[in-house]
Amino acid sequence: MTDQLATLTQDGDVSIITLNDGKANVFSTAMSNTINSLLDEVPEDKGSLLITGKEGLFSAGFDLKTISGGDPKAAVEMTTAGFKLLSRIYSFPRPVIAAASGHAIALGAFLLCCADYRIGAKGKFIVQANETRNGMSIPTPILEISKSRILKNHWYRAILTAEAYPISDSVDAGYLDEVVDPEDLMSKSLEVAKDLGTLSHPHYKSTKDLDQKEILERINNSIEEMANFS
């Protein structure tokens, strides 16, 4: 594990958050808290946000060691932090671009669903919501986010039957918007991020808010219920 689980850099008006915990880029409580702290530094009235991972891996989802570690409080703390983070990214007031640098599994796949534009690197990578194959139920916040991005004719396969989509098929499913050669991933992602970063403020935010209002109410009410239940 690296000292910094995620880092923030700038390229003009594009804020770039890179996930790299030195392993599987899991969403531990510490990872979610780190990303939240970085988001506090990202302008909300101009530019755009680009999120990427390390070569070959975007994110493998929650830390399964915490989930199976026998400490229910720690598990609830971690999952609640992760769901709150996804809600924040999903509703971020500036355009969000995801550069999938490799496998996107479980919460990693749902992080893609939070972005406004998703670009994947070609390769032998998969995007998979694998929860129902691993004895886990998918909660309301994730169901709501996934329904807003995964295409209707793929949703049952992607979510209920946990189909693993090769990167090459992930555009058809709605996980990604396009796929490029690995060496072009960041240049293409920055190109899109710089273009979307010119969208006017506050008109982008107000339109996004109107579109997401009812979905976010269901997401955030569900997160609050889960936190109170613990």
80 within 8 A of 126, measured Cβ to Cβ = no
Any idea which of 49-63, 118-132, 216-230 has the lowest mean pLDDT? 216-230
CATH number at residue 225: 3.90.226.10
In single-letter form, the type of residue at position 7 comes to T
pLDDT at residue 227, rounded to an integer:
79
Residue 96 lies in a domain: yes
- Decide if pLDDT at 229 tops 80: no
Question: Is 154 inside any structural domain?
Answer: yes
Within a domain: 37: yes
Residue 149 has, within 13 A of its CA and on its CB side, a CA count of 24
No. of helices (H) and no. of strands (E), the chain: 9, 10
Residue 51 lies in a domain: yes
Q: Is 0.85 surpassed by the pTM of this model?
A: yes
Q: How many domains does the chain have?
A: 1
Alpha carbon distance 107, 183 (integer Å): 25
User: Which element (helix H / strand E) includes 103?
Assistant: strand 102-105
- Residue 67 sits in which domain range? 6-229
Q: Is residue 1 part of a domain?
A: no
Helices (H), the chain: 29-39, 64-67, 72-90, 107-114, 140-147, 152-155, 170-173, 185-196, 203-229
> For 175-209, what is each residue's pLDDT tens digit?
999 999 999 999 999 999 999 999 999 999 999 99
